[in-house]
Structure 1
Amino acid sequence: MKAVIIEDEEIIAKVLENKIKKVAPDVDVVHVLPSLKTARKWFGENAEPDLLFMDIQLSDGVSFDIFNDFSLKCPVIFTTAYDEYAIRAFKVNGVDYLLKPVKETELAAAIDKGRKLLGKNEKPPADLAELIKSLANPSGSSKYKEKFIVNVRNQWMPINTKDIACFSKEVLNYIYLMNGEKYMIDYVTLEEVEELLDPRQFCRANRQFIINIEAIQTVKPVENSKLIIKLKEPNHKLEIDMSRLKSPEFKKWMDR
């Protein structure tokens, strides 16, 4: 069984490859692809493998974008550095999410799932296909992220970016929707999130918050050279501070 790894950290990729050889000697890793760019080139020139190991966050984008360009039918095992309990919520039949550093027992189980899919000649489950479809942007009309995926009662649900009032860095990263709902998102830092957003629509207020211009109720100068940004209901209890040094730029951003 031939496999390909998409992973931008060379050491992590090598460790994963060694573990694959240990738990599944019949799986031959034919190539390690370190970026979206190299992955696109490789899949454009080669037949898809029997099994694909794919990191989620790459140095040049999100690995889901691969599916915008190629209709891959092979089982996919995603890997991520996120919290273990979040990962358990994203289990899907036939494919898997593995927490970094990958445990050999979980890796063996994931490979077995892929092996069974291949043996039955089945396609990936519909919910994964729908997820990939929701993340795709066939028209190519926007270079910014249009949807984020959240977990709701053990199901993946796409959220339109325009419906997000703000992104918040707490113990983990969360989004607050315009209707007040709050969900965790699978991103390690707000810096990663910020790069995916339209800067005309979203502004980095401070280290903890990225805000949607449509969610702002008022901005008030206060003591200690700060601005207090108050969001519209039902998120009005969120008062977000910003340095006055950013005041001229922020006002220009708001004054369209």
Structure 2
Amino acid sequence: MRVMIIDDERLARDELRRLLLEHPWVSVVGEAANVQEGLQQIAALAPELVFLDVHMPDGSGFDLLAALAQAPAVIFTTAYDRYALRAFDVSALDYLLKPIDPPRLAQALDKRRPAPQDAGAVAADGKVFIKDGERCWFVALDDIALFESEGNYTRVYFDNHRPLLLRSLVQLEARLDAAKFMRVSRSRIVNLASVTGIAPAPAGGMTLTLHGDLRVGMSRRRALVFRQLNRL
């Protein structure tokens, strides 16, 4: 598994590298000392798992994740106790307190250990990290029902949450799987798997009902495309 370490303390990075040598199925492909370096290295190396320090001089680990179009799996590392993460609704893979305890590290890694049939490969999680004010979420793309444009931001609909993502709908669309997500209007993209009902609308359009009883209108032109894609 391809792993990256992001921590502003060189000794902490070196110690984590040493501990990871005990796990031969893990390969450290790179490291970074701050948020900006981390963003560059993640883009260049595409790690499957990131050990991410919570506090760094140029920002937090949460700031780094919020700047990514799609977040890898994360294990936070922190010198603070769990209270440091309680303010966040972050479904991170795990967190480790510094100094890192080898058994705890092994426990955290086991959650990502590939099954024998995977031949050492770990599939991408397909998650997006959203930071809205003081709250943060890791959300699987498959769990998102609707993306709705609000200027240069996008409102994301999942479960009972409606946070704003600091990214435009155009930027998001370029990253989404066109077989799973469809733009149904200038301002909305829906997850096709979330469609629970279809009803005709005036002038040949459609109204889609999504999980959570969300209703989204489609123009006649986009409804024609939808019918063709879904063989209706």
State the TM-score, normalizing by the size of structure 1.
0.46
1:251 aligns with 2:227: yes
Matched with 2:13 is none
Equivalent residues of 1:94, 1:124 under 8 A apart: no
5 Å-filtered alignment, 1:86-235, equals 92-97=54-59, 125=78, 139=121, 141=123, 146-151=126-131, 154=134, 156-171=136-151, 172-177=153-158, 179-186=159-166, 188-232=167-211, 234=212
Match for 1:150: what amino acid? Answer: I
Structure 1 residues 203 and 158: CA distance shift in structure 2, 3 A: same
Letter in 1 for 2:178: P
Query: What's the CA shift string for 1:97-124, capped at 9, x where partnerless?
Result: 49xxxxxxxxxxxxxxxxxxxxxxxx96
One-letter code aligned to 1:254: N
For residues 17-32 of structure 1, what are the structure 2 equivalents within 5 Å?
Answer: none
Q: In 2, Cα distance between the equivalents of 1:244 and 1:151?
A: 35
- Contact 2:146–2:156, Cα closer than 8 Å, also in 1: yes
Aligned mates of 1:69, 1:228 — CA distance in 2:
38
Contact 2:147-2:190 within 8 A present in 1 as well: yes
Specify the SS of the correspondent of 1:191.
helix
- What TM-score do you get using the length of structure 2 for normalisation? 0.50
Q: Where do residues 37-116 of structure 1 align in structure 2 (5 Å cutoff)? A: 53-54=36-37, 63=42, 66=45, 68=47, 92-97=54-59
Aligned-residue sequence identity (percent) comes to: 18
Letter in 1 for 2:191: N
For the structure 1 residues 225 and 55, does the alpha-carbon distance in structure 2 shift closer, same or farther, using more than 3 Å as the test?
farther
Q: Secondary structure at the match of 2:185?
A: coil
Count how many residue pairs are aligned between Structure 1 and Structure 2.
158
Q: CA, structure 1 residues 224+153, in 2 after alignment: closer, same or farther (shift >3 Å)?
A: same
- Structure 1 residues 54 and 169: CA distance shift in structure 2, 3 A: farther
Secondary structure at the residue paired with 1:180? coil
Q: CA RMSD for the aligned pairs?
A: 4.4
Which amino acid is the alignment partner of residue 166 of structure 1? L
Q: Report the Cα distance in structure 2 between the residues aligned to 1:70 and 1:159, rounded to whole angstroms.
A: 16
Distance 1:52 1:146, change over 3 A: closer
